[in-house]
Structure 1
Amino acid sequence: MARLLLFNKPFGVLSQFTDRGSPTVRSTLSDFIDVPGVYPAGRLDRDSEGLLLLCDDGRLQARIADPRFKMPKTYLVQVEGDPEESDLEPLRRGVRLNDGMTLPADVVRIDPPDLWLRDPPIRQRKSIPDSWLKITIREGRNRQVRRMTAAVGLPTLRLVRWSIGDWSVGGIPPGAFELSSTSPGFQTS
């Protein structure tokens, strides 16, 4: 059976084990995970937080990361602005980005979630309100959620990937990981 790690990636950490060629020292997965033979199934930008799955099975890794399987990825997103339902409708239909139309996203406005503190904290501006959205996508384009919210005039301030499929980061502190078993739908042998 494949080993699968659920890692709560902190802000500022690269989704790789090494940082080649950078003139500055940046935090990587090797600062948090000392488990041989596991590799990220997909990526999460350095300035994003939350669930990153790592596994030791190439077929499972591809099944999780490959957009053709349309595995749902849910994000808790703090945006600048105070959107009405009509402002969210374009996200639900799909947004034109420079690399084409996105698939429709599931989007709801939510109360501020009870999350860990981010280091560094989000810059608060008294004259500009912010709000929280729960966005589920079934693709994995580069910086997709950030580009989608920007395209509808709601720049992302904080992005936390909460779940991938049935796997969730709930209960895992930032910088920690848990070992999970693969679900029956993901048997690879």
Structure 2
Amino acid sequence: MTLILFNKPYDVLSQFTDRGTAGSTRRTLSDFIDMPGVYPAGRLDLDSEGLMLLTDDGRLQARIADPKFKMPKTYLVQVEGDVTEAALAMLRGGVRLKDGLTRPAEAERIADPELWPRDPPIRVRKSVPDSWIRLTIHEGRNRQVRRMTAAVGHPTLRLIRWSIGSWTLEGVPPGQWQRASP
């Protein structure tokens, strides 16, 4: 059984081929991972960065990706504005989105993390502060973290998935991968 931890850069599709428009030149997993037979266990949006797990084991892939297993996913999120305890409390209690109430999340404000620079950098507005939060969710709706932070008044500027279950990005540079124990 093979399990790979991959640090997906910004603007990379979380699939091996680009089924977009003809002549599209978007980067995909195949630009970084040359190992036949492994498939992503879950997805990350084009504009999100961070941990993706890939495996050749269908059962493990399902256990990681299927929301019924409630595997925790932790994100480092740079948001617009000065995050208040009230906003964090709303995230912790569950946020009402168009597709229903989210499960309660773990949410805390953190100091600016020591991370790699994003290419391209996020937009910075001198008149609008930003802050970082660590957010752990136990489900995986489409663009959930971005929708949750926007719902509490703090749109996401940068989103990095740091961990899935006990697997983390620790020691995996952007665009690189390493084998892990299942």
Please confirm whether the aligned pair reaches a TM-score higher than 0.5, indicating the same fold: yes
Q: State the Cα RMSD in Å.
A: 0.7
CA distance in 2, matches of 1:8, 1:63: 20
Alignment of 1:66-77 (within 5 A): 66-77=66-77
CA distance in 2, matches of 1:21, 1:107: 35
Q: What does residue 28 of structure 2 align with? A: 28
Which amino acid is the alignment partner of residue 89 of structure 2? E
- Secondary structure of the 2:178 match is strand
Q: What does residue 81 of structure 1 align with? A: 81
9-18 or 19-28, which deviates more: 19-28
CA distance in 2, matches of 1:171, 1:102: 31
22-31 or 56-65, which deviates more: 22-31
- Secondary structure of the 1:59 match is helix
1:174 pairs with 2:171: no
Return the offset for 1:21.
Answer: 3.3
Return the offset for 1:79.
Answer: 0.1
Q: What does residue 139 of structure 2 align with? A: 139
89-98 or 17-26, which deviates more: 17-26
Identity rate, percent: 72
CA distance in 1, matches of 2:87, 2:61: 35
Q: What does residue 8 of structure 1 align with? A: 7
Q: What does residue 42 of structure 1 align with? A: 42
- Secondary structure of the 2:149 match is helix
CA distance in 1, matches of 2:5, 2:111: 25
- Secondary structure of the 2:6 match is strand
CA distance in 2, matches of 1:29, 1:84: 37
1:111 pairs with 2:124: no
Q: What does residue 18 of structure 1 align with? A: 17
Which amino acid is the alignment partner of residue 4 of structure 1? L
CA distance in 2, matches of 1:158, 1:170: 18
Q: What does residue 91 of structure 2 align with? A: 91
Return the offset for 1:25.
Answer: 1.1
Q: What's the TM-score once normalised by structure 2's chain length?
A: 0.98
Q: What's the TM-score once normalised by structure 1's chain length?
A: 0.94
CA distance in 1, matches of 2:75, 2:11: 17
Return the offset for 1:86.
Answer: 1.2
39-48 or 17-26, which deviates more: 17-26
Which amino acid is the alignment partner of residue 8 of structure 1? N
CA distance in 1, matches of 2:181, 2:171: 16
- Deviation >3 Å, runs of 4+: none
Gaps of 5+ in 1: 183-189
